[in-house]
Amino acid sequence: MSDCVFCSIVAEESPAYRIYEDDRSLAFLDIEPASRGHTLIIPKSHYETVTDMPESLVGDIFQTVHHVAGALESVYQLDGYNVVQSNGVAAGQEVFHAHIHIIPRYENDTVALGWCSEAADETMQQEIADTVREELDSRS
């Protein structure tokens, strides 16, 4: 895709600090890092979201996440790390090429990721679980 910045990085038309590459994936440092070592993992082929990708590619991409996260843990003695993947504008996706963030975490860092702290309604939770399980069963 010619107007995709990540596709231009794959094609080596735009610069990036590449740290890992194989036939199907590329890992490079984020240009606006949340912390030291913040890395993006992308498929080399253009897909807008994770669910647009073939399942086999999703597996390959997450193998790269595993590989790179292990290297970051080893080199920087991380206290932890977040793996973040966003799909669509409502989820905060800004570059519409599927990508996964590995965000290294250090004690007392200022990185903030948040979720609702209220307990979920049990009736609603059961309805959601039943509905999604039925959809998954219909796909088998």
List active site positions: 99
Alpha-carbon torsion, ordered 24, 17, 105, 57, to 10 deg: -10
Alpha-carbon torsion, ordered 20, 44, 59, 126, to 10 deg: 120
Count CA atoms within 13 Å of residue 42 on its CB side: 26
State both tokens at 98. Answer: 């599927």
How far apart CA 116 and CA 113 sit, in angstroms, is 11
Please spell the DSSP secondary structure of 14-81, one letter per residue.
S---EEEE-SSEEEEE-SS-SSTT-EEEEESS--SSGGGS-HHHHHHHHHHHHHHHHHHHHHHT-SEE
